[in-house]
Amino acid sequence: ASTAGTHVIEHAGRLLALCEANLPFELDRDLGTVGAYDFDGKLRTAMTAHPKEDPVTGELHFFGSSPVPPFLTYHVADAKGALVHSAEVPGATGALKHDFALTRRHVVFIEGNVTFDPTEPSGIPYGWSDQQPSRIGVMPRGADGARDVRWFSIEPGNMLHVSNAYEDGQGRIVLEGPTVDREGFRLSWNWWTGAPGRGSEPVSRSYTRRWTIDLTAGTVDEHIIDDLPVEFPTLNEDYLGSENRYQYAIAFPDENGLGGYGLVKYDRTTGARRIHQVGDARLPSEAVYVPATGATNEDDGYLLTVVSDIKQDASQLLVLDATGLDKIATIHLPHRVTAGLHGSWIPDTPRITP
């Protein structure tokens, strides 16, 4: 059985609802359940809820993670939807791997301090461990890439969602994303697992980090680039795997209450950030970028975010201008939607590669 409720994507004309502990579930165009989908019997592991579709090749890259061996298996489906490659990744552990990164030439995995723990009382068998090393695994894309994976030690922490990764002009891999330390993990985990004393909505303490991995020198440069607590990073997915200027994320409050939620836009060229506040006790979900017709600039488009209004017990879909974060439209939904959504913009005409 699977909740298939973490994320939904389209690939090669097929809608897939995802939950990382199971096979994907296929949906029809009316969102009815077709059933578990195993790529014609070729997929023999679970599938991450955060696959990456290469905007150039149309390939779908993803992985299956397990708390027992094989800990990590890397998969590639071609642009027509056929599973063409699967390989176990050497050296992986039982650390929680919720997301990963894709560049033009590499696949990048992240293992943090959160790892399999069957004694965790919440029912979600993962917890923080100082004995679990934090690492980044880098391997070339391609059929033989898993043989050549290299693991690099990084500072303690944990990252659930990747902002983006790419090769810079010197061939180094640049990886960015929000991370938490031990206390930040405790705060967020208490909410997600329903621990006693939690608030009605999540609090967070996170830091956006940048790692620059020099494969030639065998080194990693790591530093914090922003201390605003954020999660659910997104971008214009035409820039996935290549250098992007703009990134978006959801800003969370600190431990002092329910104020301060908003949608953040980062300009990686100037270092500026802009925040669209959504109001007291209103939590926006992951912002999905939708390109405008005839777009010429990276941020010519719209951001869609579902806002959960705690006080009014209601939700709205906000449509924002991705350039300046100005509100364009508010669509009132028939009931409140739980905060913390992932989603995709899927045109009503399927994109099927001939």
Give me the pLDDT at residue 213, please. 98
Closest CA to 107 of 159, 147, 68, 67: 147
Which alpha helices (H) appear in the chain, and where do they start and end? 182-192
pLDDT confidence of residue 353: 43
162 three-state secondary structure = coil
In this prediction, residue 352 carries a pLDDT of 44
| C-alpha distance across the termini of the chain, in Å | 33
The pLDDT of residue 190: 62
**Rounded-to-integer distance, Cα 110 and Cα 234, Å:** 18
What are the structural domain ranges in the chain? 1-81, 89-227
In this prediction the pTM is: 0.93
Phi, psi of 116 (to 5 degrees): -60, 130
> In whole angstroms, what is the distance from residue 325 CA to residue 328 CA?
9
pLDDT attached to residue 86: 95
C-alpha distance from residue 246 to each of 173, 231, 269, 277 (Å): 18, 15, 8, 18
pLDDT averaged over 10-residue windows placed end to end, the chain, 354 residues? 87 95 94 95 97 98 96 96 96 96 98 94 87 96 78 95 97 96 75 52 73 97 93 97 97 64 96 93 94 95 96 96 97 91 82 43
Q: pLDDT at position 164, please?
A: 98
**pLDDT for residue 153:** 97
pLDDT of residue 350: 52
